[in-house]
Amino acid sequence: MNESNMIICRCEEVTLGELLQTLDRHQCSARELKLRTRAGMGCCGGRTCRSLIQAVMQNATGTIPADAVPLGYQPPVRPISFHLLGGKN
């Protein structure tokens, strides 16, 4: 398997290749990388891919930004069952 096809963000289907291309093209911060690619902005709110995005950023740039704002995530307020969403009793 080609590493560039490896999916980093499953919710938004963002690949490692997309992240690296965006980093190369825009020389952006982790937050800007997230905004440009939508990685970490899917239904899980970044809970599963946030650390991977930061690791990709660190590996690509070779530095750990000390002053960068850490990537946030938005967990659901409270879990809800599917039958409540569907409207069927």
Provide the CATH number for the domain around residue 60: 1.10.10.1100
Compute the distance between CA of residue 78 and CA of residue 1 in angstroms, rounded to an integer: 38
Domain count, the chain: 1
**Whole-structure pTM over 0.85, yes or no?**
no
Q: Which of 1-5, 23-27, 56-60, 67-71 has the lowest mean pLDDT?
A: 67-71
Range of the domain at 51: 3-64+71-86
Residue type, 87: G
> Would the pLDDT of 62 be above 60?
yes
Residue 8 carries which DSSP code?
A: E
Mapped to the 3 state alphabet, what secondary structure does 12-70 carry? CCEEHHHHHHHHHHHCCCHHHHHHHHCCCCCCCCCCCCHHHHHHHHHHHHCCCCCCCCC
The letter for the amino acid at 74 is: Q
What does the block give as tokens for 1? 């398997």
